[in-house]
Structure 1
Amino acid sequence: MHSAAQEKVFDFRILGPIEFHVSGRPVPVPGARQRALLCLLLLESGRTMTAARLIDGIWGERPPETAAAQLRICVSRLRKLLAASGLPGSISTETGGYRLQAPEGCVDVQRFGGLLREAADAESGGRRADAAALLREGLALWRGPAADGLESPAVRAAAAQLDEERVAALERYFDLEIQLGRHHPVIPELMSCAAAHPFREQLHCHLMLALYRAGRQVEALQAYRELKRRFADELGIEPSLPLRIMETKILGQNPELSGGQSVQLLAG
């Protein structure tokens, strides 16, 4: 017979505001310090984090003199919350620190990483449609900026890396969709992503190519000109060579643009 804990479905969410769900029901994690602690332990799930790293992660460079005692209180409260939710003993005290052992597959950031690896394997095996589907599944896990609402420097640094992985996955996804001839349906999302990341040149390359292949050459060139103006006004530089190559090919209606090549090859 399965235990009650085994029958429950646990879901720890970092890809957006920190959340903990049990069988679809949200379990509030009170207090910014408790949420920061949970986030830090989840990011290193299965590995020991020293008390010093946790203190630095929660309080930054100037922790209070009572930080060690406050950390122990935070750990105790988090243990009680997890135990009451069906995960007793999930936080263990190790030499000099603590370790959270989350059930396999219940942390969204781990699922995201696994799907990225599966997508890379599928793409290297020539299965572009499968790769795009896996990337789409991984991107669907995101609910906003990683660890949204937590301000500790250590959490923000980890979150910035995760956010970068998300944008890189979006770029890969759009490239695959365009290669597969599915440029029409991704244009609205591409426009939104390019607007949200105004200096992310790869996204703008994808947008220009998708618009061109959709028969919207004027809009593709306008997207480049707006980007060029933004670079000049805000950065004082020209767009990179790949973007300039893409503009030249669009202006000349280069036959290469009609094929199923990746943006990297076309703009290289």
Structure 2
Amino acid sequence: MDFRVLGALEIQDGTDRVTLPGARHRRVLACLLLSPNSVVPLPKLIEATWDGEPPATATKQIQNCVSVLRERLGDPKQKLIVTDGSGYRITVGNRQVDWLRFTDAVAAAGQSAEGGALADAVEKIRSALRLWRGPVLDGLDAAGLAGRAARLEEQRLNAVELCIDWQLKLGQHREVVDELRAIVEEHPLRERPYAQLMLALDRSGRQADALAVFQRLRTQLAEELGVDPGAEARRLHEQILRGETGEPVAAEPPERPSGQLDRAAGELAAAIVRQWTAETEIRSLHRPEPVPLTWTSTERPVAAAAPAVLGRPGGPDRLTFSGDLTDVVAKFRQVPARQLVVLGEPGAGKSVLAILLTLGLLADPPPGEPVPVLLPLSSWNPREEHLHGWLARRLAEEYPGLANTGAYGRGAALRLVLEGRVIPVLDGLDELAPGLHTAAIDALDQAVSGGRPLVVTCRSTEYESAVAQSGTFLSRAAVVEIEPVETEDAIDFLTARQRFGETRWDPVVRQLRQHPESPLAQALRTPLMVDLARTAYAHPSTDPGELCDTTRFPAARRSRAICSTSTCPWSTPRARPRPLGSTARPARAITRRSRRSAG
């Protein structure tokens, strides 16, 4: 079976093309294919399937779509699309999905270039680019998948620029001019293609045209952004004026490897800031503020004694450590080994904490601090791949610009990892196959035993079970657990956007204060649930007081199951938050979903 997303969604089974009955089925499959071999929770599938407010029957419709997909794809034993917890996972090899083949081919081209075989590298990367038949998921029009599609398009552009760099080194100046003109027309604020076009034109004997390209870039940036061209374009402009571009752009002495790696780390940090700042905006994490989240040292038997964590002999065995979102960066830096395990229940806010910790570390880094890199851990198999090798591979896949040997030297991604220039922030150890949990903890401890920094998030029960099973734990890491949301914090968040004189939330406030152990109070103990409740009852025509009806919420267990259909910022990584349907009876819709999820 061959799946293609680099263009219109296509499925090829041998010589036969598989057709799907409708747009919903295509969107569900596309969402799974963009996260292959990883669990895609129901909220993300719902978000991808409905651009507007999802219907009350969204969960059931997704389940029906998956059933139809299994039938069309010849998967009666559910080995291709696997039900995993409250979501689904499509199990495919890299050769079965065109965007994975593309990524592998670009990496192979980079290896050829590092070995000096530039012509072979160009042939390989051009072959990879021919896999693109058009825009990602062309014609599907799914806003919920736009972010991932944009990242793939960015990878394509990076591959094109990398290929042109190699062609310019091979003296193929005239051959790339037309392609570069098309790129700068389509992406008028992207500086690198302008610089490449300037160089290609100048080396083709067209100095005046090369200088005109620089003037166009300067005008475009000034009018659109109010900035000047970057250092690379300015330096090249000066070289063209002096007639010094007979050799590749860097007419200066070759940069030392350490300087190249410094540059790679700096560019990586900037890319990560852009990526996760955009994610916080998509999740509306600061509108107005995140749900208050606090954490403290876990009382579970899963952590090293305090002297081992703090590097100070003597003192009590149990580490006393606590904080909230505002001081997590400072507290992390207080741990001598800078190793942290974050535990929490589903919906507790582990992924949000990881995002904000990553951005906080990058906001004001002390000299020499490594670059935090946030990655989902679900694709790692610790029995088959060393952590450092997996990290280097994922860095190269997520940030393909690191393959630019001219700027960063050979093997920049691997060197960044091996030289301790990154802090792995690994989200979702529990998303690995259950049989790999203990192996992963052991492999992590071995990889950071020399004092390398590390952050890992995991569901509390799964982590405790893995440690109890093998006795292995991270021997120098502080282990903290996210605490339930306090009643008053939940009330403050639920009522923060009330208009003056509005009383819709009063019954809920009374219920929470008078009955702190009620099913409703138990349900509203995670950021996910609190945010979902406010989102579901945001419309003035809805009545939050319905949540106090114990016939609709008979037990905290079923109420907590609401989180399996949430599309709020606290649900799953890279999920675009969107309000739930403001139907006439939100509580009824939520309860129906809860009962399905609880089963």
Q: TM-score, normalised by structure 1?
A: 0.86
Q: What letter corresponds to residue 246 of structure 2 in structure 1? A: S
Could you say what secondary structure the match of 1:126 adopts?
A: coil
Partner of 2:132: 142
Deviations 1:158-204 (A, max 9, x none): 00110111111111010000011111211111111121111110011
Q: What letter corresponds to residue 70 of structure 1 in structure 2? A: Q
- Cα distance in 1 for residues equivalent to 2:49 and 2:250: 43
Name which of structure 1's ranges 31-40 and 166-175 shifts more when overlaid on structure 2: 31-40
Deviation of residue 262 (structure 1)? Answer: 6.6
Which one has the largest radius of gyration? Answer: 2
Partner of 1:63: 54
- Name stretches of at least 5 consecutive residues in structure 1 with no aligned partner: 1-9
Number of residue equivalences? 254
Q: What letter corresponds to residue 29 of structure 2 in structure 1? A: L
- Cα distance in 2 for residues equivalent to 1:169 and 1:239: 22
Matches within 5 A, 1:173-212: 173-212=163-202
Deviation of residue 24 (structure 1)? Answer: 4.5
- Cα distance in 1 for residues equivalent to 2:77 and 2:150: 29
- Cα distance in 1 for residues equivalent to 2:166 and 2:250: 7
Q: What letter corresponds to residue 11 of structure 1 in structure 2? A: D
Deviation of residue 67 (structure 1)? Answer: 0.5
Deviation of residue 143 (structure 1)? Answer: 1.5
Partner of 2:457: none
Q: What letter corresponds to residue 204 of structure 1 in structure 2? A: Y
1:123 aligns with 2:116: no
Could you say what secondary structure the match of 2:73 adopts?
A: helix
Q: TM-score, normalised by structure 2?
A: 0.40
Partner of 1:253: 243
Partner of 1:47: 38
CA spacing shift, 1:191–1:22, aligned 2, 3 Å: same
- Cα distance in 2 for residues equivalent to 1:210 and 1:106: 37
CA spacing shift, 1:194–1:25, aligned 2, 3 Å: farther
**Any conservation in 2 of the 1:45–1:99 contact (CA below 8 Å)?**
yes
**Any conservation in 1 of the 2:18–2:73 contact (CA below 8 Å)?**
no
Partner of 1:159: 149
CA spacing shift, 1:104–1:238, aligned 2, 3 Å: closer
Q: What letter corresponds to residue 71 of structure 1 in structure 2? A: I
- Cα distance in 1 for residues equivalent to 2:77 and 2:137: 22
Q: What letter corresponds to residue 180 of structure 2 in structure 1? A: L
CA spacing shift, 1:98–1:262, aligned 2, 3 Å: farther
Match of residue 237, structure 1, among 207, 215, 227 = 227
- Name stretches of at least 5 consecutive residues in structure 2 with no aligned partner: 252-403, 408-599
**Any conservation in 1 of the 2:177–2:200 contact (CA below 8 Å)?**
yes
Could you say what secondary structure the match of 2:95 adopts?
A: coil
Could you say what secondary structure the match of 2:82 adopts?
A: strand
Deviation of residue 104 (structure 1)? Answer: 4.9
Greater share of helix residues, 1 or 2?
A: 1
- Cα distance in 2 for residues equivalent to 1:25 and 1:215: 51
**Any conservation in 2 of the 1:16–1:146 contact (CA below 8 Å)?**
yes
RMSD: 2.5
Name which of structure 1's ranges 102-111 and 205-214 shifts more when overlaid on structure 2: 102-111
- Cα distance in 2 for residues equivalent to 1:126 and 1:243: 26
**Any conservation in 1 of the 2:2–2:97 contact (CA below 8 Å)?**
yes
Name which of structure 1's ranges 53-62 and 93-102 shifts more when overlaid on structure 2: 53-62
Deviation of residue 148 (structure 1)? Answer: 2.2
1:114 aligns with 2:107: no
- Cα distance in 2 for residues equivalent to 1:18 and 1:206: 33
Question: Percent identity over the alignment?
Answer: 37
Match of residue 25, structure 2, among 27, 34, 42 = 34
- Cα distance in 2 for residues equivalent to 1:235 and 1:44: 34
CA spacing shift, 1:109–1:71, aligned 2, 3 Å: same
- Cα distance in 2 for residues equivalent to 1:151 and 1:17: 11
Q: What letter corresponds to residue 188 of structure 1 in structure 2? A: D
Could you say what secondary structure the match of 1:143 adopts?
A: coil
